[in-house]
Structure 1
Amino acid sequence: METGGFVADSLKMARFSKNHSTKNFIVAGVRFMGESAKILSPEKRVFMPDLDATCSLDLGCNASDFATFHVAHPERVVVVYANTSAAVKAQADWMVTSSCALAIVHQLKSEGKQILWAPDRHLGRYIQEQSGADMLLWNGACIVHDEFKAAELSMFKAAHPNAMVLVHPESPQAVVDLADVVGSTFAMIKAVVEGSATEYIVATDNGILHRMRQLAPHKKFIEAPTAGNSANLQELCPLPLDGYKWPSRHFELPRKCFW
C-alpha cells in the first residue's frame, strides 16, 4: 500500500487527498479539516485520530443557530470560512479560506451582492475593510488569534526593530494594524522564505514556527505575545498515538453536506 505524509493547511490537505491515488487518509487535525477532505473526496475514507478534536470557530457557529441567522437575511449571499462544520458549509453559497476570501468578496461586491459572513468577526472585518463590501458578520472568534495583544506586540517591535511582523487576519484589528504582512498560513510562510529580513515576529498558532525553521533555518522567529501562556491549538487537537481503533475514527457525511 502506498503511504506518505503531507504537512499543510486545511485546504491544501483536502486538495492533496483529492489528487492522491490513495483511498484511505489519516487527517491529524481538528474535525472540520477531516470533513473538508471528505467533501472533496467523498469516495475515499478519511480517518482522524480524535473525532472530538475541534476548533473554537466551529464550536461557536452551531449549524442550527446559523440556519436561523441565515433565514433571517435571505437577500444576502452566504460566505463561510473553512473553519466551520460540514453542516454549516452546506448552507453556504461560497466557502473560502483566508488566502482566497478577499478576491471572492471583491468579485461578489462587483456583482452588487450583499454578504452574510461567518464565523470569524476579525477576519470578516478585515475583508470588509479591504473590499468595501456590504457584509453582515457572525459574532465568532478564534480563541488563539483573539489572544494576541497590540500593546505587548508594540513593545516586541521596539525590542526587535529589524524584525518583520507577520499577522493572521483572524487577529484583532489593533494587532493587524501593527503588521508588515497580513495573510494566511501559506502567505506567512511565503513571506519568510522570500523575505530579506533575518528576524520575524509571528502572530498565529505557534505550530507554524516549526515549519518556518525548517524552511529558513538561518532566520530567527519570535512568537508574538498573547494574554495567556502561548498561542497554540494543541489542547483542542490531542493526538494520542497508542491503541487506536481506527475503524471507529472513520466518518461519513450526510448527502446534504455535499454540493
Structure 2
Amino acid sequence: MTTDTVITRTETDLGMPDPRHGIPAAYGGVEADVAWAAEIKRLAKARNATILAHNYQLPAIQDIADHVGDSLALSRIAAEVDADEIIFCGVHFMAETAKILSPEKRVLIPDERAGCSLADSITADDLRAWKADYPDALVVSYVNTTAEVKGLTDICCTSSNAVDVVASIDPDREVLFLPDQFLGAHVKRETGRDNIHIWAGECHVHAGINGDELTDQVDSHPDAELFIHPECGCATSALYLAGEGTVPADRVQILSTGGMIDAARATHSKQVLVATEVGMLHQLRKAAPEVDFQAVNSRAACPYMKMITPAALLRCLREGKDEVHVAPDVAERARASVQRMIEIGNPGGGE
C-alpha cells in the first residue's frame, strides 16, 4: 500500500477534493480493503490510539473508527477514553476541539489541510472588531469555529442546544451569534429575540441545499418525512411548507446530526428526505435499515471532509501526522466557553 497524492475519477464523483477547483489534492492510491483495515487496527493498537470519525466521513472511514458521531460528542469521548493518541477523522476545527478538551493527549488529524468554510467565515480579528461595536453583548459561538474564536466566546452552542443557550441569557442583554446565519435565523425564530445580531457566515455545502430542491423532492415523495439540518438554506422553506400544509407539520424535523440518528430509530415512516451532508446517510441507514433515506441534494458532499481518505488515515498512523496544536492560554479560554454551555443543562447533540 502506498500513499501517493492522486485522485481517481471515482473519488472525484464521490465528492473528493479536486485541485482544479482550489481544494488541495487528497492522499490517494490506497484501497479500503481487508488488508487496509487490518493494518489500521494493528497500527492504532500499537500507538494506543482511538480513531474518531465524524458522520460526514467516507463510509470506509466511519466503518473503521472506534467511535462515530458529531464533533462535540466525539471530542467529549476523546476526553474520556484511555488512549495516548486521538486520531480525529473530520475537519481541523473538530480536532482542535478534541485537543481543547484533552490537552494531555496527542491529537492527530489525518490531513491538516481539511478545513471548513463555515469555521473560516469568521476569524478572531473579525470577532474582536464585532465585539468592539457591541461592547456589552454576550458572544454565543457555534462549535463549528476555530479554537481562537472559541477563546473569545462567552458561551458555545451546538445546533441542538443553540435555542436553549440563547434563551438562558438575560432577555435584555444583546447577543452576538456566530458564525452560521441559517442556524442564527432558526434561533431568532424560536426565541423571538430582537436583540440578537447574526454573523453572515455559512457552510457552503449546507447553504447549497436550497428551498427549490426541497420543494421538488417533497412533490416527488409526498409521503416522506423530512430531516432538516438547521445550517441548510432550505430550513426556512421546510417550515414554510409545513405552515402551508404542503407537508404535515409533524413530518418536518429540524435536527442536529445526533438528533437525526435518534429520529431515525424512532420514525415510523417508510421514507425520509434528508437535508444535510450526504455522508450522514451511511449512519442513518445503519440505524434504521428498513427506512429509505434519500438526500434532498445528492451532490451535497463536503470536499474537506472527504480529504480524510484511506491513504490519509494510513499515513497518519504510520508517520504520526498531522498533529494538532492549540496554545495553552487559548485552550483554557475556549474550554471555559464549552463548559458554560454544559452548565446550562443541555450539553447538546453536536453540530
Using the size of structure 2 for normalisation, the TM-score is 0.69
Q: How far did 1:150 drift?
A: 1.3
**Partner SS for 2:68:** coil
Aligned equivalents of 1:74 and 1:205: distance in 2?
36
The residue type paired with residue 214 of structure 2 is: L
**Partner SS for 1:144:** helix
1:54 is aligned to 2:115:
yes
Equivalent position to 2:86, from 25, 28, 31: 25
Residue of structure 2 in register with 1:159 after alignment: 220
Superposed counterparts of 1:226-241, under 5 Å: 230-240=299-309, 241=311
Residue of structure 1 in register with 2:186 after alignment: 126
Deviation per CA, 1:69-106: give whole Å up to 9, x if none.
Answer: 12221110000001100000000001111011111111
Aligned equivalents of 1:61 and 1:237: distance in 2?
23
Superposed counterparts of 1:141-156, under 5 Å: 141-156=202-217
Report % sequence identity.
32
Q: How far did 1:236 drift?
A: 4.8
Superposition misfits of 4+ residues, deviation over 4 angstroms: 1-4
Note if contact 1:60-1:119 (Cα within 8 Å) is conserved in structure 2.
Answer: yes
Aligned equivalents of 2:283 and 2:231: distance in 1?
20
Q: What is the Cα-based RMSD across aligned positions, in Å?
A: 1.7
Aligned equivalents of 1:88 and 1:237: distance in 2?
25
**Partner SS for 1:128:** helix
Superposed counterparts of 1:82-161, under 5 Å: 82-110=143-171, 112-133=172-193, 134-161=195-222
Q: Which has the larger radius of gyration?
A: 2
In the alignment, structure 1 segments of 5+ residues that lack a partner are: none
1:252 is aligned to 2:325:
yes
Aligned equivalents of 1:221 and 1:9: distance in 2?
19
**Partner SS for 2:217:** helix
Residue of structure 1 in register with 2:4 after alignment: none
Aligned equivalents of 2:130 and 2:112: distance in 1?
27
Deviation per CA, 1:16-62: give whole Å up to 9, x if none.
Answer: 00111112110001001000111111111100001121111111112
**Partner SS for 1:140:** coil
Note if contact 1:118-1:124 (Cα within 8 Å) is conserved in structure 2.
Answer: yes
Higher helix share: 2
Q: How far did 1:220 drift?
A: 0.2
Question: Aligned residues, how many?
Answer: 255
The residue type paired with residue 181 of structure 2 is: R
Q: How far did 1:197 drift?
A: 0.6
Higher relative contact order (CA 8 A, sep 6+): 2
In the alignment, structure 2 segments of 5+ residues that lack a partner are: 1-44, 51-65, 243-251, 334-351
Q: How far did 1:248 drift?
A: 4.1
Aligned equivalents of 1:109 and 1:128: distance in 2?
15
Equivalent position to 1:174, from 227, 231, 236: 236
Describe the shift of the 1:236–1:216 C-alpha distance in structure 2 as closer, same or farther (beyond 3 A).
closer
The residue type paired with residue 175 of structure 1 is: S
